[in-house]
Amino acid sequence: RAALTVLGIESSCDDTAAAVIRHAPPAPAQILSSVVWGQTELHAGFGGVVPEIAARAHAEKLDHAVEAALTQAGVTFTDLDAIAVTAGPGLIGGVLSGVMLARGISAATGLPLLGVNHLAGHALTPRLTDTIAFPYLMLLVSGGHCQFLLVSGADDFTRLGGTIDDAPGEAFDKVAKLLALPQPGGPSVEAAARSGDPKRFTLPRPLMDRPGCDMSFSGLKTAVLRTRDALVAAHGGLRESDRADLCASFQAAVADVLSGKARRALALYMAEHPAQPVFAVAGGVAANATLRGALDHVAQQAGARFLAPPLALCTDNAAMIAWAGLEQIRAGTPAPQDFVARPRWPL
Ligand code: KG4
Ligand code: ZN
């Protein structure tokens, strides 16, 4: 149980990130630095992340991000025990930038290199911020993913259900685009919803009455499009109050679907693991206050502890990648050094 210091590198979507973590048990892990350079302005006007632009920006910035993370942490390569890099899933150009840089550093320094699954990074974040034991139930909800996971170990994840089409973050981003709000859509839809009436428009709650923990969000997005078109036709444009009401109604529908299915997942989980009543969320969409509130309520009703990481650790970052690598080392199951970068990589 020696102290370990790990450098993390993340470049699988539109954030160029590097971080240094130190863990000296029994003390909780310390985030010595966490550098996250977003690319929002580079993709503005394209209505989404452009893979080629993202890859080029990562290639240009990643080594500077690593340098900044080491400087901010007050360490050099000689203080490190390992390097952990996101090896997938994600936009392959960006993932490759990170893996190539990490390989170069590993070759030059002799430090062991760990290829980390981005989703494992999100799923293990609750153990970085709180001292909780395995197992726990996790809702991983981001721009590209939405699934309930039974997290039983650093490399032991069981999927209990998830979206059969879009991820909620993707739906937030598309709704923002439909309503001419800035990207990323999550924060801007949430901001617009604050002054809106969540009961004004009745939007669908797909798969709610079906058994199981699967979800669907693409029909919701289509319903928002239809409602928008009807409003534009009626008023010659979208009024500020219509936009706010539509955002609030959309957000309420997402909250209903996620909390309805969370209630089921939690019941399944609690029946198997009554001694470990913990429900955690992670991923960018978990930054949404309304959704957090709804999920917290579900946990309370079920008698479970609700864990939501701080906002900066919900969205993409490299601290979670460093931590997932560190967890693998502790568990004695580090991924092989000869891993490859993968666009798809289910947990
Ligand atoms: O985890 P993340 O940073 O990247 C991955 O998808 O892996 O999640 C990004 C997603 C985006 O779709 C963004 O719109 C959404 O998370 N998001 C939010 C909020 N903040 C970010 N969605 C809803 N409410 C928010 N406050
Ligand atoms: Zn992510």
Residue 242 near ligand 1, beta carbon < 6 Å: no
Kindly state the tokens that stand for 271: 């029946």
For residue 258, pLDDT beyond 70: yes
Residue 115 near ligand 1, beta carbon < 6 Å: no
Q: How many residues does the chain have?
A: 347
For residue 266, how many C-alpha atoms fall within 13 Å in the half-sphere facing its CB? 24
For the CA of 118, the closest atom of ligand 1 is 7
Going by the DSSP 8-state scheme, the letter that residue 163 receives in this structure is: B
186 closest CA partner among 290, 37, 95: 290
The per-residue pLDDT for range 113-159, each reduced to its tens digit, is 999 999 999 999 999 999 899 999 999 999 989 999 999 999 999 99
Q: What angle do CA 261, 203, 206 make, to 5 degrees?
A: 35
The pLDDT assigned to 209 comes to 86
For the CA of 167, the closest atom of ligand 1 is 12
For residue 45, pLDDT beyond 80: no
Question: Which ipTM value was assigned to this complex?
Answer: 0.98
Domains of the chain, earliest start first? 4-130+316-331 (3.30.420.40), 136-312 (3.30.420.40)
Q: Supply the pTM of this predicted model.
A: 0.94
Residue 187 near ligand 1, beta carbon < 6 Å: yes
Per-residue DSSP letters for 310-344?
-HHHHSS-SHHHHHHHHHHHHHT-PPPTT----S-
The per-residue pLDDT for range 297-347, each reduced to its tens digit, is 999 999 999 999 999 999 999 999 999 999 999 998 766 677 889 999 988
**Cβ neighbourhood burial of 305 (10 Å; 0-12, 13-18, 19+):** middle
The pLDDT assigned to 334 comes to 65
| 143 known ligand binder | yes
Residue 284 near ligand 1, beta carbon < 6 Å: yes
Q: What are phi and psi of 287, to 5 degrees?
A: -75, -15
d(CA 101, ligand 2 centre) in Å: 20
> What percent of the chain clears pLDDT 90, i.e. is strictly above it?
86
The pLDDT assigned to 1 comes to 67
